[in-house]
Amino acid sequence: MTQSRLLRAAEYPRMPWKNGAGSTQEIARDAGDGLDGFGWRLSIADVGESGGFSAFTGYQRVITVLEGAGMRLDVDGRRSRDLTSLDAFAFDGGSAVQCELIDGPIRDFNLIYSPKRYAARLQWLRVAGEAEFFSSASTLLLFAAEGGVSLAHEGQVSAVLGRHDCLHLESAGALAGVKLSGAGAVCLIELTPR
């Protein structure tokens, strides 16, 4: 049996960054309080100026620019490519990271997860019409960069996602199909406990 929760962007709680330099809208997490104890966490951050990232030692991070011209990251002394809209970039959460904004503020989307506790897969899908995929992940998260994508899971219409809404599905890990229809960019995240 699959459990689903539709998470609306207007209801995401705002939390301070670990380094105190800004705030994040938390979309979802599996457990824990504050900024500790979770196995995985999804969030949206508004980055108004270049500067350092908070460290999440023991975690992996995947970051994607949602809005704005983009950014470059310096991760442990190695410079990233220019990161622009919907271009996911993964790095060790414990790394020393400096962000350089390309041309003004950005909004980004973050997956932070413990690789000791979860195997994770993140991919951006461009929906134009209909698309279907199958997954046996116990946790599926579908996040809409834009609104207007409908989802059907196990033959039932689960939700119409608005801009930055997220559908959180939990199952026993049996293979299941998800059908997407409409137009827009959706991030599919699959998490499986180790």
Ordered by where they begin, the domains of the chain are 3-113 (2.60.120.10), 118-193 (2.60.120.10)
pLDDT of residue 147: 82
pLDDT of residue 187: 96
- Kindly indicate the confidence band of residue 177, based on its pLDDT and cuts at 50, 70 and 90: confident
Mean pLDDT of the chain: 90
Q: Any residues with CB less than 8 A from the CB of 164 and at least 6 apart, and which?
A: 9, 44, 66, 143, 144, 145
Q: Any residues with CB less than 8 A from the CB of 122 and at least 6 apart, and which?
A: 62, 88, 111, 187, 188, 189, 190
The tokens for 183 are 């137009």
pLDDT of 58 strictly over 80: yes
Residues 82-94: tens digit of each pLDDT: 999 999 999 999 9
Q: Any residues with CB less than 8 A from the CB of 146 and at least 6 apart, and which?
A: 163, 184, 185
pLDDT of 44 strictly over 70: yes
- Kindly indicate the confidence band of residue 35, based on its pLDDT and cuts at 50, 70 and 90: low
Residues 131-152: tens digit of each pLDDT: 898 999 999 999 999 888 998 8
- Is the full-model pTM beyond 0.85? yes
Phi and psi, residue 36, nearest 5°: -130, 160
Cα 193 from Cα 83, distance rounded (Å): 29
Residues 94-137: tens digit of each pLDDT: 999 999 999 999 999 999 999 999 999 999 999 999 989 899 99
Residues forming a β-bridge with 160: 150
Residues 148-174: tens digit of each pLDDT: 899 888 766 677 899 999 999 888 777
Residues forming a β-bridge with 157: 152
Can you tell me whether residue 122 is helix, strand or coil?
A: strand
DSSP string, 15-55: EE-TTSS-EEEEEEESS-BTTBS-SEEEEEEEE-S-EEPPP
pLDDT of 33 strictly over 80: no
Report the percentage of the chain scoring pLDDT > 90: 71
